């Protein structure tokens, strides 16, 4: 071998690397092909050995569990509205003194006493007021006498004197009228004599002197008639004066004097009534019948208008003032019967009746006030006590399902309904519990079957089977 045919060291290393790389690639291709052939062979054999089991698994998955169902049903209940509230007086009266600055002399009742309308509860010192009252009564009597004198200032004997003067005037008029008649008759006779003497003088049967004497006598008689007429007029004028004097005497004093006296008397009487009212204010009376629940009156203290001395429950009537949500107010009306208890156990039960529902709802709390009359006195229960109650709303048909069938998930009430062999959840609205059932407000209809036993382990869409015996029993 020649020296040229022997490989150099560098070329020898390169040839070695090429040989090793080619061998590794060939080995990897061989192993990968063998693995692929083995996989396909194994799959084919499995399909040939287990064809039936594979088809069964794909067509009918096994059920999750066995459950029982019950139908949604109608039920009749006596509907009640639960309420709470405090006992208060139907009409609580605060009683105080009307007079200021008087000492409290006596207190005649204590807390818890039953009182009647007008009964004396306490008295104030009224000595000064009573003395003023007696003084004003005496002044009123004096003004009353002054009024009588103003109305009729003349005594009886004075009136009789005026009546006698009137009678005398009437007699004088009658006498002068008689004198006038006599004078007229004499004048007529003298006139006739004067006429006859004048005729006789013409024929010379009498002398001129006799004729003149008869004429003079006629003229004198005529003058007497004129004098008598004036006397009659004078007597009639005196008669009218006597009439006026008697009339004035009988009618009494002047009108302005009478009015002044009447005003003075009326003022005195008004003052008497004022003092009588002030004296009456010193006697503190019950404004109505009821029970004294608080006493703030103490002997010797000085009265002050507006200060409460007693507090009473009017007519011993109590009421429960319950705050009810506005959505429930429409269910409440006057006359409904109410059961009341001082504790949740209901060991002591009282009866009541709704008297009125307040027309005003609080804008912030959305609560309205219901006033309930209580058929008990304050000797049994007391204002301020807290009571539980139930207002009877009457019978009502409602949908019911067993309480165990209702689940709470994500703060929602649900039940499971069956459609074929699958269970699907249904959200519902529930109301009040009724024994071991619960009211359904919405989401279900009567007759639908809801899952009872096993509902707590289900998921939406689970496949279930039902037991016919339990299902038949529930139906």
160 and 245 belong to one structural domain = yes
Q: What is the pLDDT of residues 112-147, one digit of tens each?
A: 899 999 999 999 999 999 999 999 999 999 999 888
413 and 327 belong to one structural domain = no
How far are the Cα atoms of 133, 135, 144, 146, 364 from residue 271, in angstroms, in the given order? 8, 10, 14, 17, 55
> How many angstroms separate the CA atoms of 207 and 197, rounded?
9
Contact criterion met (CB below 8 Å) for 298 and 107: yes
Q: What is the pLDDT of residues 352-410, one digit of tens each?
A: 999 999 889 999 999 999 999 988 766 678 888 899 989 988 888 899 999 999 999 88
289 and 349 belong to one structural domain = no
Q: What range defines the domain where residue 429 resides?
A: 65-76+398-474
148 domain-assigned: no
Contact criterion met (CB below 8 Å) for 81 and 338: no
Instruction: With H, G, I as helix, E, B as strand and everything else as coil, classify residue 2.
Output: coil
329 and 306 belong to one structural domain = no
260 domain-assigned: no
pTM above 0.75, yes or no: no
198 and 209 belong to one structural domain = yes
pLDDT for the residue numbered 266 = 93
Contact criterion met (CB below 8 Å) for 426 and 416: yes
238 and 320 belong to one structural domain = no
266 domain-assigned: no
174 and 243 belong to one structural domain = yes
292 and 319 belong to one structural domain = no
How far are the Cα atoms of 235, 247, 254 from residue 163, in angstroms, in the given order? 16, 9, 20
The CATH number covering residue 321 comes to: 2.40.30.170
131 domain-assigned: no
19 and 43 belong to one structural domain = yes
The CATH number covering residue 457 comes to: 2.40.420.20
413 and 467 belong to one structural domain = yes
Task: Give the burial class of 214: count Cβ atoms within 10 A of its Cβ; 0-12 exposed, 13-18 middle, 19 or more buried.
Answer: buried
Q: For residue 387, which of 94, 85, 109 has the smallest C-alpha distance? A: 85
Tally of domains in the chain: 5
The CATH number covering residue 120 comes to: 2.40.50.100
Q: What phi and psi values does residue 215 have, to the nearest 5 degrees?
A: -70, -40
Q: Residue 344 — pLDDT band, cuts 50, 70, 90?
A: low
* Domain end position, chosen among 294, 311, 328: 311
CB burial of 300-311 (b: ≥16 within 10 Å; e: otherwise) equals eeebeeeeebbb
Q: What angle do CA 354, 356, 359 make, to 5 degrees?
A: 140
144 domain-assigned: no
């Amino acid at each position: 071998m020649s020296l040229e045919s022997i490989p150099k060291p560098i070329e020898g290393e390169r040839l070695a690397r090429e040989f090793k790389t080619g061998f590794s690639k060939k080995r990897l291709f061989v192993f990968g092909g063998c693995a692929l052939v083995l996989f396909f062979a194994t799959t084919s054999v499995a399909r040939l050995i287990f064809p039936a089991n594979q088809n069964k698994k794909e067509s009918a998955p096994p059920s999750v569990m066995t459950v029982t169902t019950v139908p949604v049903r109608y039920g009749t209940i006596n509907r009640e509205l639960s309420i709470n509230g405090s006992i208060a007086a139907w009409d609580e009266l605060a009683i105080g003194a009307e007079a200021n600055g008087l000492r409290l002399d006596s207190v005649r009742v204590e807390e818890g006493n039953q009182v009647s309308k007008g009964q004396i509860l306490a008295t104030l010192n009224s000595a000064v007021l009573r003395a003023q009252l007696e003084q004003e009564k005496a002044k009123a009597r004096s003004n009353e006498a002054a009024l009588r004198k103003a109305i009729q200032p003349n005594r009886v004997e004075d009136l009789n004197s005026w009546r006698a003067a009137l009678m005398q005037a009437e007699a004088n008029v009658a006498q002068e009228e008689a004198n006038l008649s006599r004078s007229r008759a004499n004048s007529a006779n003298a006139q006739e004599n004067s006429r006859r003497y004048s005729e006789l003088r013409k024929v010379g049967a009498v002398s001129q002197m006799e004729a003149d004497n008869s004429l003079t006598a006629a003229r004198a008689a005529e003058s007497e008639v004129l004098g008598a007429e004036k006397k009659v007029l004078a007597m009639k004028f005196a008669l009218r004066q006597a009439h006026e004097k008697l009339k004035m005497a009988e009618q009494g004093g002047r009108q302005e004097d009478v009015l002044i006296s009447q005003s003075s008397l009326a003022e005195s009487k008004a003052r008497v009534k004022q003092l009588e009212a002030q004296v009456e204010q010193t006697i503190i009376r019950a404004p109505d019948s009821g029970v004294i629940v608080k006493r703030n009156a103490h002997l010797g203290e000085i009265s002050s208008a507006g200060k409460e001395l007693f507090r009473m429950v009017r007519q011993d009537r109590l009421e429960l003032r319950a705050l009810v949500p506005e959505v429930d107010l429409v269910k409440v009306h006057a006359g409904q019967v109410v059961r009341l208890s001082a504790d949740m156990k209901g060991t002591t039960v009282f009866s009541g009746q709704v008297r009125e529902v307040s027309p005003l709802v609080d804008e912030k709390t959305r609560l309205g006030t219901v006033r309930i009359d209580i058929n008990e006195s304050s000797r049994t229960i007391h204002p301020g006590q807290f009571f539980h109650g139930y207002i009877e709303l009457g019978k009502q048909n409602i949908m019911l399902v067993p309480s165990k069938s209702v689940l709470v998930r994500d703060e929602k009430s649900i039940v499971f309904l069956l459609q074929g062999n699958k269970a699907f959840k249904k959200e519902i609205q529930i109301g009040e519990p009724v024994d071991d059932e619960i009211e359904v407000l919405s989401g279900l209809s009567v007759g639908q079957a809801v899952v009872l036993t096993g509902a707590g382990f289900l998921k939406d869409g689970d496949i279930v089977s039902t037991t016919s015996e339990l299902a038949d029993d529930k139906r």
